[in-house]
Structure 1
């Protein structure tokens, strides 16, 4: 069973002196004259003394700076916490992402404290929503496999969050706080799936987890086991999974509200561990390969969030689950496999396996003629070469690609549109099959996307509008935690897919 991290969040317009909490969080920014309190609920002499003491205390207001001070006599909080907002410009309001990150950073760094009140500048419903969402994302912990001798003594994460905002009484704020909790739950469940060790999470148990997470929501979960996959021609999944003692699965999750006018399909790469197969990775290259199923975790939890939000859009998620291992049964370089739908692929490198299971998912999803098809995968190391570890790539048909980018911007996630140069297609030609699973070395992220495009179907002679999200680097944080982002699984792309679905619904009205 996948346990999610869920703080309780509420909003209030009460005087800060009437708020009972363990810690009160106030924002500090970097002004041209030095550090300054921003949007502080503190008044009078206490506020002036604190503001004048910031520089002396070594507080700068830099992003991710979180400092604890003793609580003030007039407050019902044991600790006063100052969280950095970064540089500000006079007359320019703070962005929603700045508030999201400041709230998330504070809540993340206050693990062990039970209740927190966030007195950040949240004077509009949108700002209050950003603060609430940042708190939900920051209150994440993963200690499932620790023996935990200290368990029960202190909370592992903040359990109660109060957002101080003058617009707390508005209906839109109540709805925004509820949305923040749903989004936080979805992202944190994705993080937990990614963080699961491959000894515990493999295709069968991933399918079980999907069913458990969907249990109380209006969705249908269908699991195809290895026998069904073979009989129905899912050659990509069967071929990649042959080397493992743990057979593959295809999980189809459907949300079909009665009033839906739009059909979306999400396809996610779910390689629960990637050794590279017979094209074996070096030892260091395998260490983080439990994260190679992040795309499947993303599309699952994005759909569940869309269902919980009750959006009037039909969404189907296809989770392409396999473990890529070397053995006497494993597929070999030079093998030819037949992907779902009939196309054949020559295997040149068994470590280019994600595109093979995704081909099955894209072809199957296309048969249902969705209005738009989006796939999400930790697909290529070339993504990190091109864009680093914090910026994901989006490629595909211009309309969907640009809409995904706009949704990501609104959600606060970093995506960058990349091209699909037609001259790269010829490098995928094979002398023995319809195409090869490897092509031009340079621009490998783009070549991989062009491979996937081959399996996107048509409706009335026109390609289904499609976008490919390569989240290879951003899905797994190997460095230190920052903002609302923890170490290891990040849950990136869940918020973008939900925002995309919301935008689709808005445009259809």
Structure 2
């Protein structure tokens, strides 16, 4: 299922005249007086000629723009590609602008095997951003095609940078490669058809794909879940012939000072159950397991990076189908840990499986607990299709948002208003699974909060990340983001783990 090809990332000095490649990428910014060629690797004369030709060639420097021309005499590349960096001055280009431009170029240059990227990358951080963008943009999903696409992704990227001799650069390039591989693997899992990826096969893929990693995988099947009282998973998955699973993934390095627990929603297909969804667009509900895929691949990346932090992942896997054994509106489920929930809407299923996962994760008394889920349509109403909503303990919530900002992923801190808690009261059980319709993203977080445990009488720091919009892109590709599965929040979780490991 995880089939993404690997990518070779290397760095060279900015003298790239003798380097053969299928394409050479240079950057153009959208200046106040027109397009400007930046960090040109060419001689002053050729640079001037190219600069004077930009407007005539209708090159603007806008983000996502890529204009191809025959290569000049000063390079052995076969093709010269002008990549738009957006409306920035050369001195203030952000790492995210570089990441997106490199990713967009890599995405659009499918079919070119080896590409030199001569973008403004004077520092290690800038060179790493270019490398990471390429690693995110060079992607293709072919698992279900009888004949693979003829234009394969870029397989070798050469980063031209003034920091090529810096001793910190190899580690930065390695990190970029690891992050790119984790994001691409997350996309693979999200993009797989739901008749191929379901709870049992997802669980087996996790176990099979980490045999070479320092990870321990434990799979709880339906018999174990039933015996131990995982009522959320068993209730949601009851209507499907493909029974639920809980997968525990553990990374426990020696001398780990902190323990981070991650819980991921893994609804491998969501019909809504008896409260069935409209048929239009239901095919995209194969993405409802993106939270579990994100958590899994974040842990893989953390292990590959060798971070000195213990991380435990709980993947809550179920298929929400209508059937004779489905949960009905009005049923009461007993969750793992003993709390009861009246199910008023079977399409509010994600919070039920996540409740089981949060209780299980809390039992190990982690230092921080984060859940990731494509949880509510209300998230998209509130924040659109590209920005994740983050709720929970204010300190941890803000740390998650800061980590997202650092890696270029859009996230926004949201409150959990106290007036929403009474709306999930039930007349027959401890809680109801839905409450106030307005502010539904926050109501779902208020529900999840009820299942976060305590350590020595103090609530475990917890944050909830709703990725309903950013996890799956049904619109046109942009930057390093392809259509369908995006791999959103993998890099945020890794960055947060890095911060925790270093005591930030």
TM above 0.5, yes or no, is yes
Q: Which runs of 5+ in 1 are unaligned?
A: none
Q: Residue 180 in 1 paired to residue 181 in 2?
A: no
In the alignment, which residue of structure 1 is the partner of 2:138? Answer: 139
Q: Which runs of 5+ in 2 are unaligned?
A: none
Deviations 1:214-254 (A, max 9, x none): 12110100000000000011110000000000000000000
Structure 2 residue matching 1:288: 3-state secondary structure: helix
- TM-score after normalising by structure 1: 0.98
User: Which residue of 463, 487, 492 maps to 1:491?
Assistant: 487
Distance 1:113 1:477 in 2: 25
In the alignment, which residue of structure 1 is the partner of 2:104? Answer: 105
User: Which residue of 316, 330, 333 maps to 2:329?
Assistant: 333
Q: Residue 252 in 1 paired to residue 272 in 2?
A: no
Contact 2:64 2:478 in 1 (8 A): yes
Distance 2:503 2:313 in 1: 22
In the alignment, which residue of structure 1 is the partner of 2:275? Answer: 279
Deviations 1:446-493 (A, max 9, x none): 000000000000011111000000000100000000000000000000
User: Which residue of 451, 454, 461 maps to 1:465?
Assistant: 461
In the alignment, which residue of structure 2 is the partner of 1:59? Answer: 59
Structure 2 residue matching 1:507: 3-state secondary structure: coil
Contact 1:114 1:160 in 2 (8 A): yes
Distance 2:210 2:166 in 1: 31
Distance 1:442 1:14 in 2: 54
Distance 2:156 2:246 in 1: 38
Deviations 1:112-159 (A, max 9, x none): 1101000000000000010000000000100211122x66xx551001
Q: Residue 229 in 1 paired to residue 229 in 2?
A: no
Deviation at 1:6, TM superposition (A): 2.3
In the alignment, which residue of structure 1 is the partner of 2:68? Answer: 68
Distance 2:281 2:261 in 1: 31
Contact 1:9 1:160 in 2 (8 A): yes
Distance 2:471 2:462 in 1: 21
In the alignment, which residue of structure 1 is the partner of 2:366? Answer: 370
User: Which residue of 138, 153, 159 maps to 2:155?
Assistant: 159
Contact 2:391 2:397 in 1 (8 A): yes
Matches within 5 A, 1:91-490: 92-148=91-147, 154-490=150-486
Contact 2:271 2:282 in 1 (8 A): yes
Deviations 1:6-45 (A, max 9, x none): 2111111152102111100000011111001011111132
Deviation at 1:211, TM superposition (A): 1.2
Contact 1:6 1:139 in 2 (8 A): no
Contact 2:42 2:74 in 1 (8 A): no
Structure 2 residue matching 1:432: 3-state secondary structure: coil
Deviation at 1:320, TM superposition (A): 0.1
Structure 2 residue matching 1:49: 3-state secondary structure: helix
Distance 1:281 1:31 in 2: 47
- TM-score after normalising by structure 2: 0.99
Distance 1:5 1:453 in 2: 39
Runs of 4+ in 1 over 2 A off after TM superposition: none
Structure 1 residue matching 2:85: 3-state secondary structure: strand
Q: Residue 29 in 1 paired to residue 29 in 2?
A: yes
